[in-house]
Amino acid sequence: MMKQTIFLALFLALAVTSCEDRKLQTYKANVPVYMSYDELRTSFNVSTGEALVKPGKIYFKDQYMYINEYGKGIHVVDLSDPAHPALKAFINIPGNVDMAIKDNMLYADSYVDLVLIDISNPLQPSEVKRIEDLFEYVIPTYDWDYPLDEIDQELGVITEFEIKEITKEVYHNPYPWPIYYDYVSLASGDMRYNKTMGGSPGAGSAYGVGGSMARFLTYDDYLYALESTYKLKTIDISNTDQPELKNEQYLWGNVETIFISGEYMYVGTSNGMHILSLLEPSVPNFLSTYQHVTACDPVVVSGNLAYVTLRAGNTCGGTQNLLEVINIADKYNPKSMVSYAMSDPYGLGIDGSILFVCEGDHGLKVYDATDPYNITNHKIAEFKEIHAHDVIPLSSFLFMIGEDGFYIYDYSNLQEISLLGTIPVAPVEE
């Protein structure tokens, strides 16, 4: 009886203390703005006349360029006349960031869903299938100066946060942090906004070609998708009427980009480059990791050499901006050959021995990489006064995307690389 009395007294004391530590308080917080799942899943439509505003990933197939409009959808661009690229259609896909193509099917993310889009006629694409809740629930960036309001995933996907005053029960301390704080995982600090096949197949290929910043890619009968900061998903797309998630595997190091060359997959992370074998494409087999300094990390491959750009700052961390060349002849033991100081490297592309490096606000640089130990001493050309984010080199045409627009260059004559056509971003309305 004595023990029960003591236990009850302690319980009441703790309860009173707990209540005293909590109180109602009005404060400013990041309040989520939701799009309902019904609205998300009935939002697909195709329009014309949409301007390029916030370009993201790029993908080329059969004389058309597909340009992601960050978080909004995909522009279809006719490149039949490279001097006059033309915006022909816009596919409205809320939450879209990445894409990949096999045959006449475009695979695009839409927040938590995967959408299959028939592009047999690129100017009249149609939704044929939606795989719901295939991807993790992620949230947009928010103002770190304010706490997050409660998040209710049942209300739909979050399109943005608004700073508003709210009144909630909080812990009694100098800062008003909500009791029911929702620790929703972030992907590199954003909603997968940071997917496509590497390499350079020509026009008419079943797969087309994407840029080095890709997080989706297609190979054989599979779609590969990087998710969150550590997960690789393998999706069987042999039957487009019934795509099937075949495998999930965890890769350390904050996975960022994905590239395929031959029968090998190269995954760029903030701490290294993973090499996986695709001899059994349904279950990519991890072989090795080349570790490097902490930095953002796209990778491209040509022959037995991998080229990696490392960018400091942002959510990736690190302090060095580098271009690294890695010998990958032995897939189980990749070795660093040489590294070069860069200004602000982003995406890159390789065509034979010609290396294209995007340097953000520092523009585009073109190198002869025949001698991997003397790349920066053999600069072919440099294009300043533009923003360069990612490139696709293809049959003497270079397609480049940046914050200020889409560019097409002709590099058939390396002594006179020329700008053929552009699609500038729309001016910001005041």
pLDDT digits (tens, 9 = 90+) for 21-80: 567 889 999 999 999 999 999 999 999 989 999 999 999 999 999 999 999 999 999 999
- Predicted confidence (pLDDT) at residue 285 exceeds the cutoff of 60: yes
How much is the mean pLDDT over the chain?
86
Predicted TM-score of the model (pTM):
0.86
pLDDT digits (tens, 9 = 90+) for 177-236: 554 333 333 333 333 333 333 333 344 457 789 999 999 999 999 999 998 778 999 999
Long-range contacts of 199-203 (CB under 8 A, 24+ apart): 199/259, 199/260, 199/261, 199/301, 200/351, 200/392, 200/393, 200/394, 200/395, 202/394, 202/395, 203/61, 203/62, 203/63, 203/395
Q: What is the DSSP letter of 426?
A: P
Residue 430 is predicted with a pLDDT of 54
Cα distance between residue 251 and residue 223, in whole Å: 17
Residue 254 is predicted with a pLDDT of 83
> Could you tell me the two tokens for 182?
């929702």
Residue with tokens 């990519």, as numbered in its chain: 284
Which residues lie below 8 Å from residue 160, measured CB to CB, with a gap of 6+? 32, 33, 140
| Mean pLDDT of the region 123-139 | 95
pLDDT digits (tens, 9 = 90+) for 343-363: 888 999 999 999 999 999 999
* pLDDT bucket at 313, cuts 50 / 70 / 90: low
SS3 content of the chain, % helix, strand, coil (to 5): 10, 50, 45
Bridge partners (DSSP) listed for residue 255: 269
SS3 299: strand
* Span of 87-96, 207-216, 282-291 with lowest mean pLDDT: 207-216
> Could you tell me the two tokens for 27?
């404060």
Cα distance between residue 264 and residue 316, in whole Å: 25
Helix (H) or strand (E) holding 20: helix 2-20
Cα distance between residue 426 and residue 406, in whole Å: 12
C-alpha angle 224/155/135, rounded to 5°? 5
Cα distance between residue 363 and residue 345, in whole Å: 9
Residue with tokens 């839409």, as numbered in its chain: 110
pLDDT digits (tens, 9 = 90+) for 366-375: 999 999 999 9
% of the chain surpassing 70 pLDDT: 83
Identify the top-confidence range among 86-95, 302-311, 316-325.
86-95
C-alpha angle 132/137/140, rounded to 5°? 125
Residue 24 is predicted with a pLDDT of 84
Helix (H) or strand (E) holding 106: strand 105-110
Residue 173 is predicted with a pLDDT of 53
Evaluate the CA torsion angle 400, 405, 410, 415 in order and state its sign. negative
Rounded to 5 degrees, φ, ψ at 398 are -115, 120
Strand 244-250: give its sheet, edge to edge. 216-219, 222-227, 231-236, 244-250
Q: How far is CA 296 from CA 141, 254, 318, 339, in A?
A: 18, 9, 8, 15
pLDDT digits (tens, 9 = 90+) for 133-178: 999 998 988 999 999 999 999 999 999 999 999 998 766 554 555 5
* pLDDT bucket at 308, cuts 50 / 70 / 90: very high
> Which amino acid is present at 420?
L
Residue 293 is predicted with a pLDDT of 61
CB 372 within 8 Å of CB 324: no
